[in-house]
Amino acid sequence: MSQVRDLTEALAERTRPENAASWDPVGLQLGDPDASVERAGVCHEVNEEVIEALEQTSVDLLVTYHPLLFEPTNRLLAGRSAEARAFRLVSMGVNLLVTHTDFDAAPGGTADALASTLQLRELEPFGGDPAEGVPDIGRVGDFDATLAALDALVSDAFGANGLRITGDRDAHLDRVAVVPGSGSDFIASAADRADALVTGDVPHHRAVRAGDLGLAIIDPGHTATERPGMRALVDLIVGVSDVEVVDLTNIDPQTWT
């Protein structure tokens, strides 16, 4: 029978958690490395719906992309909060394993999945800053079409609702950069090597800066840019384990409606 330790180590061989951003609490976040695992769940984020699903379909280990506890805490109390959800997981005997920016940077991970969805070619990693403890969570690839064509691809993949775009739609794009999640910190780096950036959570003043640098922006939202990677994460867990895997990534942590 597999143990939590076995799956943690098997996943680490593929994602290399030592390459995660320095602020990112990847790895086993809750639980017992020696606990047995017969069934593992995979989710995008540990929200209330995921907790409720686990109360109906029990698992021994939950693998999540978004960490549950980003900040140190000294209390786990019942209620409605990240700490309360941690309390409920512990109460149910569910171990929690996180793979986040290490999975973004890993071959076949979130960044590669997003780039593949947008049909980018000849991919190269970008965005890493060893001095700041940031891995290459972005990708740059060949595109060879207009910004309008890229907009259409993004809309088809994620829907047009809430999508934001800056730049000349008739402009030809030779290279496109992608960063899953919140990638506005990478605007300057993307501008050095691409004509457009697809990422989420871009604030107004950074969009203005992108325009000054000649970089178009397409922002379909934080969650949308991570969705292609969730299928890859489920496939990865299936591939590195011999336990039953429960796919909970259909429970979308989309905040905005």
Domain membership of residue 169 as a residue range: 104-222
Same domain for 183 and 129, yes or no, is: yes
Mean pLDDT rounded to a whole number for the chain: 96
Beta strand residue intervals within 48-167, DSSP E:
61-64, 95-98, 121-126, 138-146, 164-166
Same domain for 75 and 92, yes or no, is: yes
For residue 181, the domain's CATH number is: 3.40.1390.30
Q: What percent of the chain has pLDDT over 70?
A: 100
Same domain for 68 and 91, yes or no, is: yes
> pTM for the full model?
0.95
121-126 β-sheet, strand order: 121-126, 138-146, 172-182, 196-200, 216-219, 164-166
Same domain for 109 and 85, yes or no, is: no
Which helix (H) or strand (E) segment holds residue 190: the answer is helix 187-191
Mean pLDDT, residues 204-216 = 97
pLDDT of residue 1: 64
Residue 255 within a domain: no
- How many domains does one find in the chain? 2
Same domain for 17 and 76, yes or no, is: yes
Q: Of 63, 61, 48, 66, which Cα lies nearest the Cα of 93?
A: 61
